[in-house]
Amino acid sequence: MKPQLEEILKVVESTYSRNLRSVERTMDLNFLRQAFTNAVRPYYTTTELGFVLGRNHATIVHYAKGHMSLMRDTYYRDAFHRVQIIYSDFENEQISIRPMDVLRSEVIELKTRLQDLEFQIKKHGESHLQPDMV
């Protein structure tokens, strides 16, 4: 399941302290909008992206056409990569979310396993272990 676009947008806006939905047309804000849409474009439709930004889907298509030339700009390129990382973090978070009680039992199991391994090391001595086992 892909992350909610609205949530990703909020994180990007918070990261840059900017409102991507504003009508302001400064170069840095426009580059940030374009970086946002182009970074998540593989996962969402132009209509979805346009809707969340309060723009027409044709604007999103226009952003995509200028992507390669904008990658020469340091601000745009950094913003593009940062948005990709933000999206990736959301995607990984959704995949790995497990109930707290399951996580607690996994931690207990891992601690027990660690104690068993430490005991075995002491029992057999480190001299019997191969270098890659230590």
Q: Which CATH number is 5-96 given?
A: 1.10.1750.10
Q: Look at residue 33 and tell me whether its pLDDT is greater than 60.
A: yes
Q: How far apart are CA 76 and CA 83, in angstroms?
A: 11
| pTM of the full structure | 0.68
pLDDT at residue 99, rounded to an integer: 66
pLDDT at residue 111, rounded to an integer: 87
Q: What is the mean pLDDT of residues 64-88?
A: 95
Higher-scoring residue by pLDDT: 23, 125: 23
Q: How far apart are CA 90 and CA 97, in angstroms?
A: 11
**Token pair 């601000």: residue:** 75
